[in-house]
Amino acid sequence: MAVPSASGTRELVLASASPRRRELLARLGIPAPRILATDIDETPLPREQPRAHAVRLAAGKARAAAALAPDAVILAGDTVVGVGRRILPKAEDEATARRCLALLSGRRHRVFSAIAVLTPDGTLREALSETVVRFKRLEPAEIEAYIAGGEWHGKAGGYAIQGSAEGFCVWLAGSHSGVVGLPLYETRRLLRAAGLTIA
């Protein structure tokens, strides 16, 4: 999608195939950005903490997309669930999702949602949303029912707050949209700083 900017009209590229990020971006009046999903190594570095991991991956995705669309404004993001210094994985199988939910049961965790906006002149703008979430104590039957529903697949920490897992959430302090995958306040601020006209 071409978005008005201070220097004319620029194409905005979302460096993500996530439908949740597209839906959230539409709330800012950008319903159909160009999609350029990137494939970078998301393995945590030795002793890397959740906050730094999220920031590094968002910037890496932005740079990877910019190599394919050098004249566009690139928006990239990454969301990481952390328990203390531990980075929870994106659940790709039931066993991983089950372990994540058991770990999150009855305790607080943090969700770090980093975004990066890279403009054609090479300027990289970054922001990080940090949200604290507390889950109720989950009964084994609740975990199994959630696993059976399949919402966990590909999700950081093994859950999707925008689905039925919101019923596990005792309280949340921070950005709900950040937990979903794109913190809208920070996204709007960075896109405007990059010169795009955002309502």
Query: Which residues are annotated as catalytic?
Result: 78
Query: CA-to-CA distance for 146 and 198, rounded, in angstroms?
Result: 37
Choose among 83, 62, 85: nearest CA to 73. Answer: 62
> Bridge partners of 4?
9
179 Cβ partners below 8 Å, 6+ apart? 79, 111, 113, 131, 133, 161, 172
Cα–Cα nearest to 79, from 51, 98, 103, 102: 51
Distances (CA, A) of 174 to 23, 40, 177, 195: 20, 28, 9, 26
